[in-house]
Amino acid sequence: MLQSVGRINAVLPDLQTREGVDTNPFGIHYVKFLFSVLIIATHALAFVGIFSGYKFETTDSWLMRALALLPSSVGVPVAAGALQAIVFSHLIVEGRLAEIRLRPIAVAMALLAFIESLKASLILPSLFFGWNVIHMTAVALLTVLALAKRSLHYVWISGLAVFAITPFLREALEPFQIAAYDDVMSLHTAGVSSVIMHVIGLCCFLMFIAWTLGTRFLEKKYRPRVMLLGAFVYGLFLMISSSIGTEPFFAARILNLPVGAMVGDKLGLHYWPLFPWYTVVAAGFLLYVGWLRASRPQVAKRVTLGLSAIVMVYYLTFHFGEIVSELDATYIWTFKLFTGSLWLVIYSICSFALTAVACDALARSASAQALTAKWPLLFRIPYVYSRTIFWSYVAVNTVAIPIAWVFAKVLPKTVSIFVFPCFVIVSWYWVGGWILKWFTQTKFKVRFSSPVGSARAR
């Protein structure tokens, strides 16, 4: 394994700077490294806890609360918005992203959402139609960039408006969702799920054929492969529809998707609704745009640090109990965590801001720069975790699940809940390094249009 790690290090470029360009602006790789590690830790801990029957109760409740409410556990969408600001902020002219093409970005976001749905369907077939953090982040990022193309003021207004109207929208959409278990069972016994799956499967197959024949984004030699992928997806839907007898929530999950994606649903079939979580993506984008465009960036960061600290102290003093009451001793997260108190949204933004300021200070520290220059591995490790954060999320929710079952059956409960998360975190440096190597060296190229172009080219 040490030899493999050495080969990974050998293929990675000079990561600290490249042609005089800072490749770690504001310590963004340190921020994403922290997020990635805690995503792996919380998910791995939840899965091994479920399989072993371990309950995070009484004296261990502090561990559950700390893992569930650390900045990185709910701050990933904020980081996604911040990363887009770093990538596109140099295109801001007169208060808007003038030269950005939205179509290739929309294709990329749709691909991410599709991968997330496929990943979820491996756990439970009906989860293909679930709404989760990747779906929300993809839609929110595309919306933020579309509004920023017109004016950055629209991003501010939309973020505040979404946060403000969330309570009223929840109440208004409540009658339009399936919320009673009796209604779920009646849909299931009526065979609605099977009909829905066949119709959706056929529509998706036809859409794949039409997109493959008419697209300008994919080289011709790859189009037959995409058609085969469409056939595979249709076959997957048919296979799922033939096994829905064990999933009474199948039809309810699909029918609740529109409301669940907007505000969440009472059955807990969908997570991370756009209202209010769009606000955190917009906040991450605006925070880094403000830093990048400020005439005195260090003053802007100090103001951010001070305001965030004040809000956090107020939150921890008066509202921390509201969030803790919505946690679960077995699964850590519940749908109530994302559809409950709006203070979690404010907490996510402020805790991310504190983390970002700290990582920025670390990246600019002379002593830290000297250490990474002397021991490059100190930067290579965060870089690998940062660049593969999406794939670590996918892996820990798929491949790691059967491994968690093995750990839970072989080791005692109190040992497995600590050993398994550590095992996954450490081993991801090796796995993530090879994924990063494959993406940087593979000959498979999908020809997307550049997201940067003239306003007329749009």
Q: What is the pLDDT of residues 269-300, one digit of tens each?
A: 888 999 999 999 999 999 888 888 777 877 88
Q: What is the pLDDT of residues 132-147, one digit of tens each?
A: 989 999 999 999 999 9
- DSSP per-residue letters across 382-420: HHHHHHTHHHHHHHHTTTHHHHHHHHHHHS-HHHHHHHH
pLDDT value for 445: 45
pLDDT value for 137: 94
Q: How many whole angstroms separate alpha carbon 275 and alpha carbon 256?
A: 15
pLDDT band at residue 120, thresholds of 50, 70 and 90? Answer: confident
pLDDT band at residue 424, thresholds of 50, 70 and 90? Answer: very high
Distance from first CA to last CA of the chain, Å, rounded?
Answer: 48
pLDDT value for 145: 94
Host H or E run for residue 22: strand 21-22
pLDDT value for 101: 86
Neighbours of 149 (CB within 10 A): 20
Q: What is the pLDDT of residues 193-219, one digit of tens each?
A: 666 666 766 777 777 776 666 665 566
pLDDT band at residue 16, thresholds of 50, 70 and 90? Answer: very low
Determine if the peptide bond prior to 421 is cis (ω within 30°): no
With beta carbons less than 8 A apart as the criterion, state whether 38 and 355 touch.
Answer: no
Q: How many whole angstroms separate alpha carbon 290 and alpha carbon 306?
A: 16
Average pLDDT, stretch 81-99? 86
- Pick from 6, 16, 32: which is nearest to 372 by CA? 16
pLDDT band at residue 341, thresholds of 50, 70 and 90? Answer: confident
For residue 441, pLDDT over 80 is answered with no
- DSSP per-residue letters across 186-248: HHHHTTHHHHHHHHHHHHHHHHHHHHHHH-SSS-GGGHHHHHHHHHHHHHHHHHHHTTGGG-T
- Pick from 172, 196, 160: which is nearest to 346 by CA? 160
What's the predicted TM-score (pTM) here? 0.81
